Chain A
Amino acid sequence: MAQEVSSTEISSSNVITLKIAKYNPEHDEEAKFAEFKVPYERWTTVLDAILDVKKHLDHSVAVRYSCRQASCGSCGMMINGRPRLACFTKISEIKSDVITVEPMKNYPIVRDLVVDLSTLISKHRKVVPYMVRDDSEITSPTKEFSQTPEQLEEYIQFANCIKCGLCNSACPTMATDSSFLGPQALAQAYRYVADSRDKGKDKRLKVIDESHGIWRCHFAGSCSQVCPKGVDPAMGIQLLRGYLLGFRK
Chain B
Amino acid sequence: MANPGRYGIERFAYWLMRITGLGLLAYFIGHIYETSSLLNGKDAWDAMLEMTQTTEGHVLLTLVIGMCVFHTANGIRVMLGHGGVGVGKPSRPDYPYAPASQNSMHKLCIYASIGLAALAMMYGISVLFGE
Contacts and interface: CB of A to CB of B under 8 A. Distances in A.
- Is there any pair of Cβ atoms, one from A and one from B, under 8 angstroms apart in the complex? yes
A230 B94 contact: yes
Contact of A235 (B1, B7, B95, B101): B101
A221 B91 contact: no
Interface residues of B, number: 31
Contacts of B102: 221, 224-225, 232, 234
Nearest to A226: B7
B78 interface: yes
A239 B87 contact: yes
Contact of A238 (B15, B93, B97, B101): B101
A18 to B, nearest CB: 18
A222 B10 contact: yes
B115 interface: no
Contacts of A239: 84, 87, 90
A156 interface: yes
Interface string A85-126: 000000000000000000000000000000000000000000
B130 interface: no
A220 B106 CA distance: 11
Given A222-B10, A238-B84, A153 B91 contact: yes
B97 A219 contact: no
21 contacts: A156-B90, A156-B92, A157-B90, A194-B90, A219-B78, A221-B102, A222-B8, A222-B11, A224-B102, A230-B93, A230-B97, A230-B99, A232-B100, A234-B101, A234-B102, A235-B88, A236-B90, A239-B84, A239-B90, A241-B84, A242-B83
A245 B80 CA distance: 12
A231 interface: yes
